[in-house]
Structure 1
Amino acid sequence: MTPTAIEASGSSTQDGDAGGASYKRRRLSPPHQKQKEDDIYAMFDEDEEDFEAKRYVPLKQRKLQELQRISGKSALPISKSVALSSVSQQLNKSSSASRVPGSKGYGNGGDEEEEEEEEDNGPKRSTRALMDEARELREKEKYEDKTEAEKLAEEERKILEAHAAKKKLASASELAKGIQYTEPIKTSWRAPRFIRERSDEENGRLREQNHILIDGEDIPPIITNFRDMKIPSCVVSYLGSKNIKKPTPIQMQGLPTAFAGRDMIGIAFTGSGKTLAFSLPIIMFAAEEQKRLEYTRGEGPTGMIICPSRELARQTYESIKAICEAMERDGYPQIGVLLCIGGISMADQQHTMSKGFHIVVATPGRLQDMLEKKRFTLDWCKYLCMDEADRMIDMGFEEDVRNIMGFFKKQRQTLLFSATMPKKIQDFAEQSLIKPIVVNVGRAGAASLDIIQEVEYVKQEAKMVYLLECLQKTAPPVIIFSDNKNEVDDIQEYLLLKGVEAVAIHGSKTQEEREYAIKSFKSGQKDVMVASGVASKGLDFNEIQHVINYTMPKEIEDYVHQIGRTGRSGKTGIATTFVNMNTAEQTLLDLKYLLMEAKQRIPPFLAAIEDPRAAGAGGLTGCPICGGLGHGIKDCPKLEENQRRQTAGFSRGDGDGGGY
């Protein structure tokens, strides 16, 4: 507005009690707008009483005034005022209920104006019932009365429930139809009479002597030698030639349980003989089926073993094949074994499939592909074992396994084995199996006591040079682990330049390169094998003297599996681990508690790390997600990794699973 457009009026008006002159400012307007502006200014020139009479009064206030007028009193006692206010609220509710839906205007003002007026007059009343508020207050007081430990346990329980499996391990048709099996599979095997008549106290004493923890209903008795398990003498002789004279603790309880047809969760430290505990039953069942009625073209399999990696599947296949050949030489029927893994041509296996086969050893990806292409069916399969079951689920194969379950047409016996079986996986397995028996040798996730664990602080730039010094600790063979594939290749190249016979294996290698590395290392042609996590899952190498963790794994489970390549079958071994400032403090705390549990020497820099939870090792039960003792479920690295994979849309780990 320009100064020339304003003029001051010299007229004065008397405005109520406020005497004195008041000046009006008026825009100079064209003649055709003059009448309109005069009407606007006339509104402000009206008396205050007239303006007040025309002022908008909210509906609620008008109703209250009307009630006060009817009662004939301008001021009411508090009790009556509250009562009238309640009546006005009821009237307001009834009027709003009779309002036409979608109409914006009502009375002298719209709904939006009423809401604005209510906001101006003060905060809105809570629409929640008093009973709900009271219940929340009681829960809050109850929560505040809990100790910090109880609050932490409650929080961890909620997190575990949120990440628990949403559905059990069963086929889609079984879940859709609501099919539930209540009784385990019946088999023809029975323990000898003198063992069946053994008292529960004596069985308990034998389990205690062998450090076996067991849980379940109608538990089969423990048997401490192979002959009493009714295993053929030719198999016992073959095992003797491999220096396996007596069963290990996991075999003492695991074999009778599997022979009896019971679902089972087997947990034992690395190198304890888990492979034999689930391989012998499937071989015996297959021999029994073949003897009863020979398999012909297109029939089979009787049982199936699923492994997370190609190398582990091939190792299991070769072990089963050797036992079957020993039985065949002794006059038992021929048992067909099919290896179904990625990286090999299935044309090589066509001969086995052409005449019927009894056992399949497979990785999830290739097995699912073969079933979808109907190369064979699971119509008569009644034995399923998952080796390293928790690792398989961690690597993203859970959906593949569920899809595979959909090809079963009848009830099956299910066995899950691993060295590390966290509570989350155990709970998931127990709801999926039928009256399962849990056989536990030692704490799940604990390191073998036959391994001497050494942890050394080595700067990142000094690792490669110090590696040569560590190789002097023992004679070959030695395995070196790193979680970085490029670092694996760099270490191998450095060792070759220094004259060390070394091979490398990781998920990005071709199948031929991986098989060559395994064979040359097992045969003794190569002294050192540099590997990623692909070689840590169940592989059994002869006489490994030393394991070096060039990089400390983020998850303590991976550490347990990696050092478990030595100290197997009762022999001792050494595990050296490099750590430095790049290693997470939480991982170091997990490692510290693991060393304390195994009664190993704890270096000063590890001993100086304090647990923020302020709890002693004896009072810790471990993270239910990964089993680590140095952290709770909130700080679990596996939980964080799983969330990262789900966000990124990954379904596999690092390519080491070998689906194709």
Structure 2
Amino acid sequence: MNKNLFRQYALNDWMNDVIEELKFSKPTPIQTKVIPEVLKGKDIIGQSETGSGKTHAFLIPLLNQLDPEKSETQIVLTAPTRELAIQIYDEVKKIMQLSKNEDVWRAKLIIGGTDKKRMIEKMKEPPHIVVGTPGRILDLLQENVLNIYSARSFVMDETDLMLELGLIEDIDRILTNAESNIQVMVFSATIPEKLQPFLKKYLHSPVYIKLDDRLAPEKLEHRLVALKHREAADVIFDISKLIHPYLAIIFTNGKENANKLVEQLQTKGLNVGLIHGGLNQRERKRVLKEIQQLKYQYIVATDLAARGIDIKGVSHVINAQLPKEESFYIHRVGRTARAGMEGTAISLYNEDDIHLVQKLEKKGLTFTFYDVFKGEWREAKAWNVRQKRQKQEDDAESKAWQQVKKPKKVKPGYKKKMKFQQEKAKRKIQRNNYKK
């Protein structure tokens, strides 16, 4: 029988039993570093990729320290999207059920898109654990329905997405309702510079835990396909005949593009689902349930789904449009090649996207260039082949002139003679370049 390596943290017996029920035997790298620091009450900045086990890195030690005797809010867990908040809440509920504390602990999910009146009615007794999105938590604080002054721990998950969605101001206002010495934990795949003022304001001597500098999973292939004035839907349909995905997420920039692409792909006969922030809560729940039931082979999504939803079994990611930011690309392609599995990211691109490709290449990503021609993959020239060829020609031109001897005495036709010598030298240089 495998030894439970979580026992090194001297957790409560019931928590060790829960961990065994969850079939965890060895902490992930992020859990190894985070759990002991949380138990010490330290503020934490945790930087790790999606799928690294960070949710349980903070849930296990925080719930281990919960005191059900105190009828007050002790833990606040925040996430930028409803879906991510629901996922964290589901994990909290699972631990509660396995620990047999379901009737003793009170946990509340506080998100938009739900009946606010009913939520307020259920808040007559303060929840021990609050899980929610910043906007709705702030609402209940301002209406004096919720009090977090007693909370000892506050977690922000996917903090870089919170920053991008403009939710840091809400978090700022929430924390003014908490004790100044509250334990604050920030988890994020990237730590943008714009986040620094917030971190300095609320985190006291934080422990900085950075894990895995890899931009994307090692077993992930990055393919680029030039659009060449074609419709994205036509190219994706051609690609669909070649890849046979278990499940593919097709990313678009914005809801309007997503709606249009779904319509076009469905017209072509593809089995496509749709998920984006414009759907109401009931529609999103329905689609997520249908995704879990493997009703769709393709899902068209906006960037919200890159981090807000945990979709298992993604074999391919297709970028119908490349994003503008490197971090968005990383989060998108991070949906596949998880847990040591292989995956493929296929991105349609045009000239406007070359700057992003350059930046990603400088950071170490390797792209292969393909096109779909007559029902098969064909290797294509890289976006910068023409640039490289032009540079070689310019270099050859310059070096050739350096080899031309200028006559001491200028005679008629000397310019023509020099040009002839330069062309001859240039051809020799180009031949040598070609042989390399």
Please give the TM-score of this superposition, normalised by the length of structure 2: 0.78
* Paired position in structure 1 for 2:20: 237
1:548-563 alignment runs, 5 A limit: 548-563=318-333
- 2:50 equivalent to 1:270: yes
| Contact map agreement 2:126 2:146 (CA 8 A) in 1 | no
SS of 1:270's partner is coil
Following superposition, the deviation at residue 426 of structure 1 comes to 4.8
Q: Say which of 62, 73, 78 aligns to 1:301.
A: 73
Following superposition, the deviation at residue 508 of structure 1 comes to 1.9
Shift in alpha-carbon separation, 1:247–1:606, aligned structure 2, 3 A: farther
* Paired position in structure 2 for 1:251: 31
Q: Distance in 2 between matches of 1:539 and 1:319?
A: 14
Following superposition, the deviation at residue 346 of structure 1 comes to 3.3
| Contact map agreement 2:319 2:346 (CA 8 A) in 1 | yes
Following superposition, the deviation at residue 276 of structure 1 comes to 1.7
Q: Distance in 2 between matches of 1:417 and 1:519?
A: 27
Following superposition, the deviation at residue 314 of structure 1 comes to 1.2
Following superposition, the deviation at residue 474 of structure 1 comes to 3.9
Q: Say which of 461, 464, 488 aligns to 2:230.
A: 461
Shift in alpha-carbon separation, 1:495–1:386, aligned structure 2, 3 A: same
Following superposition, the deviation at residue 607 of structure 1 comes to 4.8
SS of 1:353's partner is coil
Q: Distance in 1 between matches of 2:132 and 2:212?
A: 29
SS of 1:489's partner is helix
* Paired position in structure 2 for 1:317: 89
Q: Which amino acid aligns with 2:20?
A: S
Q: Distance in 2 between matches of 1:460 and 1:415?
A: 47
Following superposition, the deviation at residue 247 of structure 1 comes to 1.9
- 2:274 equivalent to 1:500: no
Alignment: residue pair count: 372
* Paired position in structure 2 for 1:14: none
Shift in alpha-carbon separation, 1:470–1:252, aligned structure 2, 3 A: farther
SS of 1:226's partner is helix
* Paired position in structure 2 for 1:593: 362
* Paired position in structure 2 for 1:156: none
Q: Say which of 277, 280, 285 aligns to 1:510.
A: 280
CA RMSD of aligned residues (A): 2.6
Point out the structure with max Rg over C-alpha: 1
Deviations 1:156-212 (A, max 9, x none): xxxxxxxxxxxxxxxxxxxxxxxxxxxxxxxxxxxxxxxxxxxxxxxxxxxxxxxxx
| Contact map agreement 2:82 2:308 (CA 8 A) in 1 | no
Q: Which amino acid aligns with 1:451?
A: L
Q: Which amino acid aligns with 2:22?
A: L
Q: Distance in 2 between matches of 1:493 and 1:531?
A: 13
SS of 1:276's partner is helix
- 2:183 equivalent to 1:413: yes
Deviations 1:199-242 (A, max 9, x none): xxxxxxxxxxxxxxxxxxxxxxxxx93222234232222321xx
Any stretches of 5+ residues in structure 2 without a counterpart? Answer: 370-379, 389-436
Shift in alpha-carbon separation, 1:333–1:228, aligned structure 2, 3 A: farther
Following superposition, the deviation at residue 306 of structure 1 comes to 1.2
* Paired position in structure 2 for 1:82: none
SS of 2:310's partner is coil
1:107-126 alignment runs, 5 A limit: none
SS of 1:547's partner is strand
Q: Distance in 1 between matches of 2:304 and 2:293?
A: 19
Following superposition, the deviation at residue 487 of structure 1 comes to 1.5
Any stretches of 5+ residues in structure 1 without a counterpart? Answer: 1-223, 612-660
- Which one has the bigger strand percentage? 2
Shift in alpha-carbon separation, 1:465–1:332, aligned structure 2, 3 A: closer
State the identity %: 29
Shift in alpha-carbon separation, 1:390–1:467, aligned structure 2, 3 A: same
SS of 1:335's partner is coil
Q: Distance in 2 between matches of 1:408 and 1:251?
A: 26
Following superposition, the deviation at residue 374 of structure 1 comes to 0.8
Deviations 1:11-36 (A, max 9, x none): xxxxxxxxxxxxxxxxxxxxxxxxxx
| Contact map agreement 1:501 1:527 (CA 8 A) in 2 | yes
Q: Say which of 253, 259, 265 aligns to 1:483.
A: 253
Please give the TM-score of this superposition, normalised by the length of structure 1: 0.53
Deviations 1:393-448 (A, max 9, x none): 222122211111111135210010111223443575255311111111123x8223
Q: Say which of 577, 581, 587 aligns to 2:351.
A: 581
Following superposition, the deviation at residue 581 of structure 1 comes to 2.4
Following superposition, the deviation at residue 373 of structure 1 comes to 0.5
